[in-house]
């Protein structure tokens, strides 16, 4: 990547960090914390907590390599609900306020409060097995405004502290997994009931139209075309038997 030579020597800005990418007032924080999650198998995965939701969940981003559509290729246990693959602009770790022209693939989804309580803030020097990468380079992170903009198109993730909403549902993001689908059962049942009512209404309308069609309402015996009466066999042309 051109124009990046020498960035490793730049001093990291001494700026206060934020635990989440989205602040209380809804703005993007450039100097957000990195977190570390340890899986039950001991894999140490870097992650970014985007926002705390009013319902107790946390919208969280994980490296692309940590999750896969095929279960056997995942490093993450089933803690990520509604995983969504997105591509966002990146920034160098020493210049987070400057967006580069490169994109990074990451997985984003919901984690529970229990999972969030198992994570710890990541600091330099900590061991890590999977981290955010741009190609093979590890000194890059998602550019905060681009991350917020990309997710705002697919999620509603108002912060819990802001009190700007009570529902935080997925907008039109493409879910890559059935993980966590049990949380949507009440909504799916309601949608199914509405669909059944619509189908029933459409069926009633169709039956009413059929009843108004010509020929409807007659009994089978009335609608049956009667066959013409059999004509008596004509005796013309028959020869009378000769008298003996």
Q: Are residues 24 and 65 in the same domain?
A: yes
Average pLDDT of the segment spanning 75-90: 93
What is the percentage of the chain residues whose pLDDT exceeds 90?
Answer: 44
Q: Are residues 172 and 184 in the same domain?
A: no
Q: Are residues 29 and 127 in the same domain?
A: yes
At residue 190, φ and ψ (nearest 5 deg) are: -60, -45
User: How confident is the model at residue 5, as a pLDDT?
Assistant: 46
Q: What does each C-alpha distance from 145 to 30, 52, 76, 88, 187 come to in angstroms? A: 8, 17, 26, 9, 31
- Find, among 77, 111, 105, the residue nearest to 90 by Cα: 105
User: How confident is the model at residue 216, as a pLDDT?
Assistant: 57
Q: Are residues 62 and 94 in the same domain?
A: yes
CB 60 within 8 A of CB 47: yes
Average per-residue pLDDT for the chain: 75
Mind listing the pLDDT tens digit for each residue in 111-144? Answer: 999 999 999 999 988 999 999 999 888 899 999 9
Please say if the pLDDT value at position 220 is more than 90.
no
Please tell me the total count of domains within the chain: 2
User: How confident is the model at residue 152, as a pLDDT?
Assistant: 79
Mind listing the pLDDT tens digit for each residue in 135-176? Answer: 888 899 999 999 998 887 777 654 444 333 333 323 333 444
Q: Are residues 205 and 116 in the same domain?
A: no
Q: What does each C-alpha distance from 74 to 45, 91, 178 come to in angstroms? A: 12, 26, 14
Q: Are residues 153 and 119 in the same domain?
A: yes
User: How confident is the model at residue 230, as a pLDDT?
Assistant: 58
Where would I find the H helices in 21-175? 113-117, 144-152
Q: Are residues 59 and 157 in the same domain?
A: yes
pTM: 0.60
Please say if the pLDDT value at position 184 is more than 50.
no
Mind listing the pLDDT tens digit for each residue in 46-82? Answer: 999 999 988 899 999 999 999 888 888 889 999 999 9
Q: Are residues 161 and 198 in the same domain?
A: no
Q: Is 38 helix (H, G, I), strand (E, B) or coil?
A: strand
Domain span at 202:
180-210
Token pair 């007659």 in the structure block, residue = 218
Q: Are residues 13 and 109 in the same domain?
A: yes
């Amino acid at each position: 990547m051109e124009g990046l030579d020498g960035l490793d020597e730049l001093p990291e800005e001494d700026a206060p960090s934020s635990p989440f990418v989205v602040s209380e007032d809804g703005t993007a924080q450039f100097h957000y914390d990195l977190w570390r999650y340890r899986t039950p198998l001991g894999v140490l995965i870097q992650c970014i907590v985007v926002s705390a939701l009013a319902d107790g969940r946390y919208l969280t981003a994980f490296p692309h390599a940590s999750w896969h559509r095929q279960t056997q290729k995942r490093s993450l246990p089933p803690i990520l609900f509604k995983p969504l693959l997105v591509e966002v602009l990146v920034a160098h770790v020493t210049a987070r306020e400057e967006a580069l022209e490169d994109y990074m693939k990451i997985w984003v989804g919901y984690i529970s409060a229990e999972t969030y309580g198992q994570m710890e803030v990541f600091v330099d020097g900590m061991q890590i097995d999977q981290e955010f990468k741009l190609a093979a380079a590890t000194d890059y992170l998602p550019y905060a405004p681009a991350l917020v903009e990309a997710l705002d198109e697919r999620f509603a993730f108002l912060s819990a502290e802001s009190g700007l909403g009570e529902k935080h549902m997925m907008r039109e993001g493409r879910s890559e997994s059935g993980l966590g689908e049990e949380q949507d059962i009440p909504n799916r049942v309601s949608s199914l009931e509405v669909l059944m009512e619509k189908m029933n209404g459409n069926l009633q309308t169709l039956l009413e139209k059929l009843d108004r069609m010509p020929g409807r309402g007659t009994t089978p015996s009335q609608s049956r075309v009667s066959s013409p009466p059999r004509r008596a066999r004509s005796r013309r042309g028959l020869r009378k038997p000769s008298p003996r």
